[in-house]
Structure 1
Amino acid sequence: MSCLFVGLGNPGSKYQNNRHNIGFLIIDYILENLPAYNNISKSKFFGDLYKFGDLYFLKPTTYMNDSGKSVASVVNYYNIDKVVVYQDDLDLDFGAIRFKLGGGTGGHNGLKSIDNHIGNKYTRVRIGISKPINEQVANYVLNDFPKSQIQCLEKIKKHSFSLLSTLIKDDINIISSKHTRKNICDEVI
């Protein structure tokens, strides 16, 4: 079964450690921990695409609001069986991890774009970044994670990596019941 793992984010060094780029950060961590992978041409797929067996890892370079164009190009070219998207979620506390198949976008422009291009029948790994207090949402998501959250961010990335085979093989209900976290920051990993 072929599976495409998509990390949502914005390209460029100025966005690298932004809250909105948590999907990119997770894909980077996964790639750092795989034994070997192939880098595939990025211009054809509007993103940085990597292959490890039947697994594909994508970081769209189209900016968040047009991520669907990149996802659709890979899904259609490789006839991908399953898509898993790592996304930031303002409605979840920082450190929370939830799983969802389909459904609404919660106002997330990256998800809106993907839905417009391939529909909404894909798995979402929702990573909580919390809502801003006394700050505009656009500014908040485009700010870097504060130093106080870096240790927990590492736990989020490790947990995401540990779930690769589970996300490929298991039913979404099993995944949700076994692996949803209210706050991974409090766990020992």
Structure 2
Amino acid sequence: MKYLIAGLGNIGPEYHETRHNIGFMVVDALAKYHEASFSFEKLAYTSEFKQKGRAIYLIKPTTYMNLSGKAVNYWLQQYKVPVENLLVIVDDLALPFGKMRLRPSGSSAGHNGLKDIEAVLGTQQYARLRFGIGNNYPKGRQADYVLSKFNAEEMAEMPLLLQRAQDIVLSFCTVGITPTMNQYNQ
């Protein structure tokens, strides 16, 4: 069985460890743990590893957040992964910092990366792991907030949170979405 794990974010050093790049941070942690490295391919940085007989492909789209659909669609086809084995990891302003929610499908909830994936794939029927980044910003400053770096207190919590996100991803790939949601959704 094959799985595609798409961590969303923006490329470039100015976006490193920003709230909007939590998807990149999760797939980076997965690759590091499994001693896999990323290489630049068409539309994305890609990596892969095996887990319990499953091929798990990681991508970090290089198309920037708002055009993530093109890369996700390309790699789904390239790796011949069925859309039900796609998991997209995104930041979520509506969830408190560190809270994670796995869903089998749903709306974009205003997230431009998810909107583009839905438009390109023509469906909302794909799994997504929403990683809460909180919403501690003044009115009208949402863009500045999501593109800001995590504060020191949040970064201190990040190793445990990234481990939890990795556990969710691996559970999704090995036991399926329903048991994973039952175990990890708070």
TM-score greater than 0.5 by the shorter chain: yes
Q: Contact 1:40–1:51 at 8 Å: present in 2 too?
A: no
Which secondary structure does the structure 2 equivalent of 1:163 belong to?
A: helix
Helix, strand or coil: the match of 2:81? coil
Residue 9 of structure 1: aligned partner: 9
Identity %: 32
Are 1:98 and 2:95 matched, yes or no? no
Cα deviation, residue 143, structure 1? 0.3
- TM-aligned CA deviation for residue 153 of structure 1: 1.7
Instruction: Identify the residue that residue 137 of structure 2 maps to in structure 1.
Output: 133
In structure 2, the residue matched to 1:187 is: none
What displacement does 1:165 show? 2.9
- Alpha-carbon distance, 1:23 to partner: 0.4
Which residue identity does 2:31 align to in structure 1? Answer: L
Counterpart mapping for 1:65-104 below 5 A? 65-81=66-82, 82-104=85-107
Note the alpha carbon deviations across 1:147-167, whole angstroms, 9 max, x for none: 110122221111122233311
Distance in 2 of aligned mates of 1:15 and 1:95: 19
CA deviation map 1:128-184 (0-9, x unaligned): 011133151100000000111012222111112223331113343322221124xxx
Question: In the aligned structure 2, how far is the partner of 1:162 from the partner of 1:85?
Answer: 15
Q: How many angstroms apart in 2 are the aligned matches of 1:123 and 1:51? A: 19
Cα distance, 1:129–1:41 mapped onto 2, change above 3 Å: closer
Corresponding residue of 1:165 = 170
Tell me the equivalent position of 1:155. Answer: 160
Which of 153, 164, 180 pairs up with 1:175?
180
Moved over 6 A (4+): none
CA RMSD, 1 decimal: 1.5
Aligned length: 178
Q: Deviations over 1:10-54 (max 9, x none)?
A: 00000011100000011111111103x364551x2x010112241
SS state of the match for residue 26, structure 2?
A: helix
| Structure 1 gaps, min length 5 | 182-189
With over 3 angstroms needed to count, the CA separation of the structure-2 counterparts of 1:92 and 1:39, relative to structure 1, is closer
Structure 2 counterpart SS, 1:93: coil
TM-score by length of 2: 0.90
CA distance in 2, matches of 1:67, 1:133: 25
Alignment partner of 2:130: what SS? strand
Q: Would the aligned equivalents of 1:9 and 1:20 in 2 still touch at CA under 8 Å?
A: yes
Q: Which residue of 1 aligns with 2:124?
A: 120
